[in-house]
Amino acid sequence: MKKILIIITAILTLVLICYFAFLYNATYSEGVRSGELIKFSSKGIIFKTYEGELSQGISGAQIFSFSVLDSEEKVISDLKELEGHYVKLTYIERYKTFPWWGDSKYFIIGVQKEESPFKIK
């Protein structure tokens, strides 16, 4: 009986390790979104995360919420500098997120300043 409990515990532990390894490494999709960077902040009580919002419409009806990992220092500094400007964000989407990563499943891996298509010339 003791041997069966040890085997079941080992199998459950292995399944949990595989599940978290998959969530940690797997991405669901990648892409690019453009719009006006309307919010970028650091928030949280226990886990400090970087969160932001991108307005993709004139009225602000289409909001793209995203997170940035702490390891992306260049992206964080660029987003702080470009708040209020029209930007192009390169992102990856994960299946799920961990509390210490952020609130969103979308994680920014690159940022680029763009010319706004709504500018009157």
pTM of the model: 0.79
User: In the chain, where are the structural domains located?
Assistant: 27-113
> Does the pLDDT of residue 58 top 80, yes or no?
no
**pLDDT for residue 120:** 64
Residue 102: closest CA among 79, 71, 63, 60: 71
**pLDDT for residue 48:** 85
CATH of domain 27-113: 2.40.50.140
CA distance linking residue 87 with residue 60, whole number of Å = 15
Burial class from Cβ neighbours inside 10 Å (0-12, 13-18, 19+) for residue 31 reads: exposed
